[in-house]
Amino acid sequence: MNDETTDLTTGLVIGDDGLARPPWAARDPLLRDYYDTEWGMPVRDEQGLFERLSLEAFQSGLSWATILRKRPAFRAAFAGFDPDLVAAYDESDVERLLADPGIVRNRRKIEATVTNARATVALRAEGGLAELIWSHRPAVTPAPRSHAEVPTTSPESVALSKALKRQGFTFVGPTTAFALMEAVGVVDTHLVGSHRRGSSGVWS
């Protein structure tokens, strides 16, 4: 039985629990749980940020649902996204991962994950990945009232992309950087009216 309704002005879907969510998070149970419990909540630890950065890179050109369903396999393939362990991967590991049906078998993205692990380890000498990412928090977060108003980049995501590339990271364009900032709470792009708006505690 489907008891949901859609607000035609904002596009928010009111679920059978009475809570408002964007369409992408309203129907698929996996995406709904991710939206309700994780997306947009602050992540400030190196390993957690390396994982999100890696998954956002793998998501490029694909749906987030695809990546989320493969997340357990990604974690197994990349040693729980421990940067030190992934940084030690060599060509034999790349070949092994290219044969792993559980993940996205894209050589450039796999090699980028290894490269980014090494960059993450090297960045510790300059304050670390968390400091770099969170230093690009804007003074004001967006306040979109509909999906059409949700930005896909920002001046800060452009700057973060450039800063990451200077440190040796790859597959970190401005759109990927912005998606990362959304996912880990650096910005809050929950729609005004969503039950999750302001829930991160970063933005009152």
Task: Return the active site residues.
Answer: 34, 56, 64
- Taking residue 64's Cβ as centre, other Cβ atoms within 10 Å add up to 18
Structure tokens that stand for 75 in this block: 């974690």
Q: Is 14 helix (H, G, I), strand (E, B) or coil?
A: strand
Report the C-alpha gap between 147 and 12 in whole angstroms: 9
Give every CB contact of residue 46 below 8 A, 6+ residues apart in sequence: 83, 120, 124, 128, 129, 130
3-state secondary structure of 104: coil
